[in-house]
Each structure stands twice: as C-alpha cells, then as structure tokens.
Amino acid sequence: MDKRTELFEEYYQEGNTVRTRVVERPLPDEDLLRLPPEQEQPSRASRAQRVPRFDPAKIGTFVLLTALSVLLAFGGIVYLRLNASVMASRTHIAEMEKELATLKMNNELQTDKLNAEIDLAEIYQVATVQLGMVHGDGSETITYEEQLREYVRQYENIPGR
C-alpha cells in the first residue's frame, strides 16, 4: 500500500536554543479524519427537535411587517368608507338638483300663468282714472348718494336738498 506523506517543520530544543528541522510524516487515513459521532453534524430529525434561537432581526422584521399590514388594512377600510360616503353625497346632490330643476320649472310656469292673467292696460286705467294718479315729471324725483353704506335703511330720514 502506498501511503502519502507530508513535510512539516518540527521544533526541538537543544540546550538553550530552539531549533527547527524538516520532518516527513505520513498522512492519516480518511477514517482517522472523520469526527466522532457525537461531534458530527446533527441529522435532520435532531435539527427539527432543537428549539429555534431567538433572532431579534427576524422578530423585528415580523413586527414591522405585521404593523404595516394592520395600517394598510385600516387605511383600506377608511378609504372604502370615505368612498361610500362621497358616492352617497353625490347621489343626494343629484337628487336635490333634480328637485331644484323641477321647482324652477314649476315656478316659471306659475310666473307665466300669473303674467298672462295680469292686464297692464287695466291696471293703468284704474290707477289714472279711478285713483287719480299721474306720472311724475323729472323735477319731482330726488336723488342722493349715501357715502357710508351700500344700502339705505327703510326708516332713515331722506336728506333734503
């Protein structure tokens, strides 16, 4: 059998001096290089039975992802509620606009009906003949400017000339 060998330096003491020499030694068999059974890698069955070690990075990542998932779910629920509220408001506004259009149309119909019934010539005749009213001329009209306000109070005195 051909045994393999290796060269290595060996230290030895001679008096008060440490010397080195090159020595040839045989390499051990592969059986000798193998670890004893208690030092070998544990099998898969024994690895599964081991309690996992506490890893703060994994726990922190898990907590962070859980918190983000909860926030995302909460944000989605809030968004859906707001969206439903907006849609309900839009529907309500559309119904009210429809009702407003109907009321405006009815108001215009009533105005036209009343205007058709009013005879302005008859009103003029009653005012001038029966009540003795006359048109005023330009000298009877008094105009003035109010500098303090944009409106005139009803019971305020009208300034004279």
pLDDT tens, position by position, 12-28: 888 888 888 888 877 76
CA distance 105 to 113: 12
CA distance 13 to 22: 14
pLDDT tens, position by position, 87-146: 999 999 999 999 999 999 999 999 999 988 888 889 999 999 999 888 878 777 777 666
Q: Is the pTM of this model over 0.85?
A: no
Instruction: Extract the runs of DSSP E, i.e. beta strands, from 5-138.
Output: 5-14, 17-26
Residues 159 and 145 sit within 8 Å (Cβ to Cβ): no
- Residue 129 structure tokens: 């003949």
Side-chain half-sphere of 156: how many Cα atoms within 13 Å? 9
